[in-house]
Structure 1
Amino acid sequence: MGLSATGLGSGMDIGSMVSKIVDAERAPKQERIVKNMNDVETNISAYGRLKTSLDTMKDLMFDFRRDNTFAARSTVSDNAETVSATADHQAVTGVYSIDVQQLAQSHKLVSDGLDPKADFGAGKLTLNLGGRATTIDIAEDNSSLLDIVRTINSHPSNPGIKASVINDDSGARLILGGDKAGADNQLALSVNAPITSPLQAFAFNPASQSNAMNEMQAAKDARILIDGLASVSSDTNTFSDAIRGVDIEVSKLTMPEDGPVTITVDEDRDKVKASLAEFVDAYNAFYQVTKALSKYDPETQQGGPLVGDSVIRSAVNQMRSLFSTPIEGAPDSLKTLSELGISTTMDGRLEINNAMLDKQLNRNFSALEGFFGGNNGFARKVEETVQSFTGFTGTIRNRESSLGDQRIRLQDEQETLDRRMQGLEDRTLRQFSTMDNAMGEMQSQLSAMMNIMPSG
């Protein structure tokens, strides 16, 4: 309250008296508001923890389903420095031999040796890369070799041609290179200037046998031979879907004495095992959260913030039901999670029987996608179950919304109480001040009467 005034008439500590009266009036109401607000904040935090642990499982299953994790493929190359590969879920398992006959390369041109200090004069250069062309103006007073290089590189419509200069014993040479490899991405450069203009030193027509610039590197496609039969070309050193679901990256030519590179595509059991372990860990983390939030200690008679809460019981029961309920449409060899070697322990956690899991992965790997994937598989069932709790209209979201409303009401109650106590303080202070003034007047009158009375 901050009151410390002392009554001038009575000598009483009016501020202290008013503060005690207001505090006595406020205490029970304030204690109730604080307790209820603490309970609300604790429950909001508890539901937040529960929601996060559930959403972790949902997000995992969404990622697994989106990425076709349970149909994952692995690739092994016996010479990864020459040929490497990656495979998606559509790849057919098998062993493939790859001969790298040619690497893709971009087109490069180089001029004859030139005077680096010379001006090449005004004109227009039309640059063409694989049919994409642009024309660049060269100004008379901005026509040195370096000026031309800067103009080409900075032109907003440059089709992808990089210009540079090298210096050797013959002088300065202009080098032009395309940013895309492949036989279709040839360079051409035509000059619109007088026939005697020095700019003519940069002309190049790939269809002509006579050119001012020289071909430094031909534009080529990469070419591989698969299993000694299928010849495949690509304008980059990556071959997509030459083998269905497999991307092949080539880096070197294969030598006849070394033979072809062998690529093995297989089912990625290790990735699937790691993903299943990740889900089991996520469920066990969720279960530990439910235990912590709903525990009750009979010795201390203290319970978790959500002890006895039906949301926790429902979430645990529905998840456990998923583990034992057969998935409709799944392969006969894999209908439930327990058939995969994942089961619930006596204390409620999930655990993996690795021997049983390995057996299923070796015998029924193709059944995994049918069990987990699709819109009716196990992964989707987990997502839907969690969504019913954490989604926009889910049970936990409804509880959080209700708690949010309670918090707003308690904040309103606090503001109302503060206003009432301020009013009580003001009224009480006025009353005490009036009483103090009256007592002061009485004392003054009594003192005056004593002064006029004759002394004995």
Structure 2
Amino acid sequence: MATISNPGFSAGLSGLIPQLVAAERAPGDARFNRIESTATAQISAFGKLSSGLAGLQSTLAKFEGTDASLGRKVTLGTDAGFTATANTKAALGSYQISVESLATAHKLQSAAVAKDTQLGHGSLSITVGVGEAIEVEIAEGKGSLADIRDAINAQAGGKGVTATLVRGDDGDVLVLASTKTGSEGRMQITTTGDGLGVLATEGGTLKVADPGNQAQIEIDGILHTGSSNRLDEVIDGITIDLTKARPGETFSLSLTSDASPLKASMLSFISAYNTALGALRTQSAAGGENSSGAALSGDSAPRTITQSLRGTISANYSQLAELGLKTGVDGSLSLDGSKFDTVIAADPEAVQRLLGDEGALQKPMAAALKSYLGDDGMIKGRTDALNSRLKSLKTEREMFDRRISDVEARYTRQFTALDMMVSQMQSTSSFLTQQLSQISQLRQS
């Protein structure tokens, strides 16, 4: 009688379970990976579109206010004792300026004393200008100039006063300096306690190293006095920085039109526009015979945005062309610099009409970009939807993994039962074989 062969579950049937489970898992994993890969690539693509469009939006915003008008070129006399910058609000013209004095910081010096000499203890009350008093406590045994310096800096740091120690031939000198120039930075010091009176500004021994002078400047014979060496309110649109006192000497400051900042802004706008179009083309490119399409190939969003931007340019093309702008076959822009210079020289407000706050190109393009990039914009909406899809995909994967685990457990139970059945059949086969052998032996005997 033939015997039933059982290689054993672990030796034979167990090898089938991973194969069956892998076959069960493969279609689901492929689907999940495909969806995840596509969504991730599209999120990245929308991020690149957002970056390109945000660059265009930022560049367009530079024309807001008065920045779509001609700039100002500042010309100064040689070694004038001041520098100056001007914005588009500054009126064209010239001024005769004399720097009579610079604003300086108030500085006080103590009398020289031997190192580690204890002046006393108590408190110092330091007032800078009309500010609140700074209270500095000097403990007993901590009254050396070095200790007082440290106490002042610890308490007055960032409040308008600094203290340093200078070691001279006659001993140590405490130097107190205001961080504010002019009369607004002048210090007043009062003291209480024992021995600190020498550091009071009234009745003490402090020496004025710098009185904290006011800046004085004459502009066309008009005197202006201030506490700072930066003057940004004397003439509208002009900031003057004083560098050297030249009392009695007059130097010219002249303002003329300057088209170069406006031209640079126009070139930046063109570059940003071309970059945005390039991103839209790249992220929506169709596949070829030997290449796959881009992440947003066939998606309507890049096409809609591209048509909107090019439509805005087309609607204002005649004005753009007058300024020297040209469009390429791919929709990109370029600028004829010489033509731009000629037009701006004859019509300084040409860019303002096109790209200023109420400009014919500024308003519709800014509105369109906001609709794409805003918190409620198209790109954020699409990106949020894709992120939500990835989040739900994660949940689906977890459910799928549990189902596959159940499948694996079912196969294990089935093959275990099969193994047990085969073992039982083998045992029965062995018993029958034994009985038949005995019967055969009895017949032979």
Name the TM-score, length of structure 2 as normaliser: 0.84
- Residues 104-143 of structure 1 correspond to what in structure 2 (within 5 A)? 104-116=103-115, 118-122=117-121, 125-132=124-131, 133-134=133-134, 136=136, 138=138, 141-143=141-143
User: Is residue 201 of structure 2 the alignment partner of residue 204 of structure 1?
Assistant: yes
Aligned to 1:154: 154
User: Is residue 339 of structure 2 the alignment partner of residue 346 of structure 1?
Assistant: no
User: Is residue 258 of structure 2 the alignment partner of residue 273 of structure 1?
Assistant: no
Deviations 1:402-425 (A, max 9, x none): 333333343333333322222222
- SS at the partner of 2:347? helix
Aligned to 1:329: none
Does structure 2 conserve the Cα–Cα contact (< 8 Å) formed by 1:75 and 1:265? yes
**Pick from 268, 286, 297: which aligns with 1:296?**
286
**Aligned-residue CA RMSD (Å):** 3.3
Gaps of 5+ in 2: none
**Pick from 429, 440, 444: which aligns with 1:446?**
429
Does structure 2 conserve the Cα–Cα contact (< 8 Å) formed by 1:87 and 1:245? yes
User: Is residue 230 of structure 2 the alignment partner of residue 238 of structure 1?
Assistant: yes
**Pick from 343, 348, 371: which aligns with 1:365?**
348
User: Is residue 333 of structure 2 the alignment partner of residue 307 of structure 1?
Assistant: no
Aligned to 2:32: 33
How many Å separate the matches in 1 of 2:204 and 2:123?
Answer: 17
How many Å separate the matches in 1 of 2:306 and 2:170?
Answer: 81
Q: 1:307 to 1:115 in 2, by over 3 A?
A: closer
Instruction: Report the Cα offset of residue 250 of structure 1.
Output: 0.8
Aligned to 1:391: 374
How many Å separate the matches in 2 of 1:157 and 1:284?
Answer: 51
Select between 340-349 and 177-186 the one with higher mean Cα deviation.
177-186
- SS at the partner of 1:296? coil
- SS at the partner of 1:176? strand
Q: 1:270 to 1:292 in 2, by over 3 A?
A: same
Does structure 1 conserve the Cα–Cα contact (< 8 Å) formed by 2:71 and 2:260? no
Letter in 2 for 1:320: R
Q: 1:412 to 1:108 in 2, by over 3 A?
A: closer
Does structure 2 conserve the Cα–Cα contact (< 8 Å) formed by 1:98 and 1:261? yes
Does structure 2 conserve the Cα–Cα contact (< 8 Å) formed by 1:134 and 1:158? no
- SS at the partner of 1:178? strand
Instruction: Report the Cα offset of residue 222 of structure 1.
Output: 0.9
Does structure 2 conserve the Cα–Cα contact (< 8 Å) formed by 1:128 and 1:159? no
How many Å separate the matches in 2 of 1:75 and 1:67?
Answer: 18
How many Å separate the matches in 1 of 2:162 and 2:155?
Answer: 11
Q: 1:397 to 1:174 in 2, by over 3 A?
A: closer
- Residues 77-226 of structure 1 correspond to what in structure 2 (within 5 A)? 77-79=76-78, 82-116=81-115, 118-122=117-121, 125-132=124-131, 133-134=133-134, 136=136, 138=138, 141-156=141-156, 160-190=160-190, 199-205=196-202, 212-226=205-219
User: Is residue 312 of structure 2 the alignment partner of residue 322 of structure 1?
Assistant: yes
Q: 1:13 to 1:180 in 2, by over 3 A?
A: same
Aligned to 1:285: 275
Letter in 2 for 1:339: E
Aligned to 1:249: 241
How many Å separate the matches in 2 of 1:80 and 1:199?
Answer: 46
Name the TM-score, length of structure 1 as normaliser: 0.82
- SS at the partner of 1:232? strand
Gaps of 5+ in 1: 1-5, 327-333
Instruction: Report the Cα offset of residue 235 of structure 1.
Output: 0.8
Select between 382-391 and 234-243 the one with higher mean Cα deviation.
382-391
Does structure 2 conserve the Cα–Cα contact (< 8 Å) formed by 1:10 and 1:439? no
How many Å separate the matches in 2 of 1:71 and 1:13?
Answer: 87
How many Å separate the matches in 2 of 1:30 and 1:171?
Answer: 84
How many Å separate the matches in 2 of 1:112 and 1:23?
Answer: 91
Deviations 1:71-100 (A, max 9, x none): 543434344672111223321223333211
Q: How many residues align?
A: 434
Q: 1:324 to 1:179 in 2, by over 3 A?
A: same
- SS at the partner of 2:218? strand
Instruction: Report the Cα offset of residue 12 of structure 1.
Output: 6.9
How many Å separate the matches in 2 of 1:199 and 1:298?
Answer: 88
Q: 1:82 to 1:381 in 2, by over 3 A?
A: farther
How many Å separate the matches in 1 of 2:6 and 2:97?
Answer: 104
Does structure 2 conserve the Cα–Cα contact (< 8 Å) formed by 1:324 and 1:338? no
- Residues 43-82 of structure 1 correspond to what in structure 2 (within 5 A)? 43-65=42-64, 68=67, 70=69, 72-79=71-78, 82=81
Q: 1:241 to 1:295 in 2, by over 3 A?
A: same
Q: 1:448 to 1:89 in 2, by over 3 A?
A: same
Instruction: Report the Cα offset of residue 284 of structure 1.
Output: 1.4
Deviations 1:42-96 (A, max 9, x none): 2222222222211221122234437836554343434467211122332122333
Instruction: Report the Cα offset of residue 319 of structure 1.
Output: 0.7
- SS at the partner of 2:232? strand
Instruction: Report the Cα offset of residue 246 of structure 1.
Output: 0.7
